[in-house]
């Protein structure tokens, strides 16, 4: 959508909210429009209002968590992503979002736990395995990184970067 379409959408949501001020979905959708216009303050307010109206509104928690994350407010993002994980249905992306926050907070074991949970819901996901392999590597957990890289080679055998990383890790392990 173009900037003008988001602005038009906001105007339409403003009108709808005047008619139905207790409709959480209207606030949520207006928040999404604000979010895509990089108006995080207004997006945050509307996500918060949607949650106030409907405390079970999972997508509002997730997207408010994204706003917090983009504003480097990681503890608040963690709270919202954790709350979203208490609501059904739980998806791999919910765990991945929270793992990103754990990484920013330096809570590596918790990030790895969440990546493991995400992979349980979406096995052999290349992106998730790549993230986890990188965390293992940078944490000095080379054997685990190697395991993920070998899985990645099975999924995407043509990726040279995975092959180079396997060689690098094998050399590190051989030097021990």
Domains in the chain, start-ordered, CATH in brackets?
Answer: 1-88 (1.25.40.10)
Among the residue ranges 2-11, 38-47, 142-151, 157-166, the one predicted with the least confidence is: 157-166
Residue environment code for 28-48, b if the CB has 16+ CB neighbours within 10 A, otherwise e: bbbbbbbbebebbeebbbbbe
Peptide bond between residue 36 and the one before it cis (omega within 30 degrees of 0): no
**Does the pLDDT of residue 77 top 80, yes or no?**
yes
Query: Cβ(148)–Cβ(136) under 8 Å?
Result: yes
30 to each of 45, 49, 68, how far by Cα in Å?
A: 10, 11, 17
Q: What percent of the chain clears pLDDT 70, i.e. is strictly above it?
A: 100
What is the share, in percent, of the chain residues with pLDDT greater than 90?
Answer: 92
The per-residue pLDDT for 175 is: 87
- Name the pLDDT band for 84 (thresholds 50, 70, 90): very high
What distance separates the 2 farthest-apart alpha carbons in the chain? Answer: 70
Backbone angles phi, psi at 122, to 5 degrees: -140, 75
Condensed to tens digits (0 to 9), the pLDDT of residues 24-70 reads 999 999 999 999 999 999 999 999 999 999 999 999 999 999 999 99
Name the residue with tokens 């919202």.
80
pLDDT of residue 63: 97
């Amino acid at each position: 959508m173009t900037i003008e379409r988001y602005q038009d959408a906001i105007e339409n949501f403003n009108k709808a909210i005047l008619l139905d001020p207790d409709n959480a979905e209207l606030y949520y959708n207006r928040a999404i429009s604000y979010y895509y216009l990089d108006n995080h303050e207004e997006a945050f307010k509307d996500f918060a209002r949607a949650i106030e109206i409907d405390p079970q509104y999972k997508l509002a928690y997730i997207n408010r968590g994204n706003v917090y994350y983009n504003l480097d407010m990681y503890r608040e993002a963690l709270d919202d992503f954790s709350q979203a994980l208490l609501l059904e249905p739980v998806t791999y992306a919910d765990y991945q979002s929270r793992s990103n926050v754990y990484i920013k907070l330096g809570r590596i074991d918790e990030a790895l736990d969440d990546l493991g949970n995400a992979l349980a819901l979406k096995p052999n996901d290349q992106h998730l395995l790549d993230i986890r392999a990188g965390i293992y590597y940078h944490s000095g957990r080379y054997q685990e990184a190697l395991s993920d890289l070998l899985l990645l080679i099975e999924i995407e055998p043509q990726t040279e970067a995975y092959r180079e990383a396997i060689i690098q890790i094998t050399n590190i392990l051989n030097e021990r």
